Structure 1
Amino acid sequence: MKKIISITLLFIAVQINAQNNIEWDGKYQLQLSDFQSNTTQIGNVKINSIHTASSLDFAFQMSNIEFVFTKNFNSKVNSTFKRDAASIIAINTNTANYLVNFAQNEFDLSELYARKLRKEIYDQKGIFSDASFLQVLYDAIQKQYTEEHAITSKITDLGQNEKKLLEIRTEVLKRIQEYPDFCKSCKPPKKKS
């Protein structure tokens, strides 16, 4: 009986976590209802603020032997949006909507840099590579991602310039297509010798 209860609770916990995290798939569009942090507030405020909760994550666990023979790390690099950490503070609904559009661009940008990281790992991982090179790659890509996010924030005035944001987002989506072999579930073609 205890095992059944434990398994049921574990299943519920996994389901709740799965509902909280949205993995980038190119189809799902963020909505205001995805900003589920307790700090989200529309109206009765004097400032506009957003925490997009999009992230570029890289983690793996494998033996040294597995690491030596693994070339494709695509599934180990994630682009996710965490609903319970995402918050919007906006003076009104119109402002909240442009902040949602800004967050969608941020989510797309995290996928672009996830694909760049997957490609870099694939291109630079050799049979005798030491795992430490992965941290250097991750740090460099994370820095580029953060800088591009900051520039977009500045250029679009946090998404208020909707025309400029649309131009930037269109370009980001186009750049994602330049890495068709580096989606999370993709298998890059073998290099020809």
Structure 2
Amino acid sequence: MKKLVLIALVFVMAQVHAQNNVEWDGKYQLQLSDFQSNATQIGAVKINSMHTASSLDFAFQMSNVEFMFTKNFNAKVISSFKRNAASIIATDSITAKYLLNFAQYEFDLSELYARKLRKEIYDKKGTFSDVSFLQVLFNSIQQHYTEDHAMASKNTNLGQEEEKLAAIHSAVLQKINELPDFCKSCKPPKKPNKLFN
């Protein structure tokens, strides 16, 4: 009986985690209902603010031998949106829509940089590469992602300048399409192995 309860509890926890986390798939469009933080409020406020909780994550666990012979790390780099950490604070529903559009842009931007990281790893990892080079790649990609996000936020007034946001967003989607071999579940074409990095 105890095992059955434990199994049911683990299943429920897995379901809650899956419902909270939205992984980028190119189809899902964020909704206001995805901003489930208690801080979310539309109307009766004097400020506009948004925390999208889009993130670019990279983690893996493998032996040295596995690492040596692994070339494709696509599945280890994840672009996701965490509903319970996401908030929109807006003075009215029109502003909330601008913020939502900016949040979708940011979610797509995180996937673009996930693909750039996957490609960098694929292109630069040799058989005898040291694992430490991955941190350098991740830090560089993360910095560029943060800079692009900050510039878009500034240049579009956090999405309120719709035409500017639409142009920037369109460019991001185009760049994603230019990296089709580097989606999370994709297998890039095989290339000769680089023995030394």
Matched, 1:18 2:22: no
| Residue identity opposite 2:160 in structure 1 | Q
Matched, 1:47 2:47: yes
Aligned twin of 1:92: 92
Whole-angstrom CA distance in 2 between matches of 1:29 and 1:130: 38
Aligned twin of 2:181: 181
Task: Give the 3-state SS of the residue equivalent to 1:46 in structure 2.
Answer: coil
**4+ residue runs over 2 A deviation:** none
| Residue identity opposite 1:149 in structure 2 | H
What pairs up with 1:116-135 in 2 under 5 angstroms? Answer: 116-135=116-135
Residues 29-75 of structure 1: CA deviation (Å, up to 9, x unaligned): 00100000000000110000000100000000001111011000000
Whole-angstrom CA distance in 1 between matches of 2:8 and 2:63: 31
Q: How many residues align?
A: 193
Aligned twin of 2:109: 109
Whole-angstrom CA distance in 2 between matches of 1:39 and 1:87: 6
What is the deviation of 1:192?
A: 5.2
Matched, 1:172 2:175: no
Task: Give the 3-state SS of the residue equivalent to 1:142 in structure 2.
Answer: helix
What is the deviation of 1:109?
A: 0.1
- In percent, how many aligned pairs have the same letter? 73
What is the deviation of 1:184?
A: 0.0
TM-score (norm 2): 0.97
Unaligned 5+ segments in structure 2 are: none
| Residue identity opposite 2:155 in structure 1 | I
Whole-angstrom CA distance in 1 between matches of 2:86 and 2:172: 21
Whole-angstrom CA distance in 2 between matches of 1:132 and 1:67: 12
Aligned twin of 1:150: 150
Whole-angstrom CA distance in 2 between matches of 1:32 and 1:98: 11
What is the deviation of 1:191?
A: 1.3
Whole-angstrom CA distance in 1 between matches of 2:60 and 2:32: 32
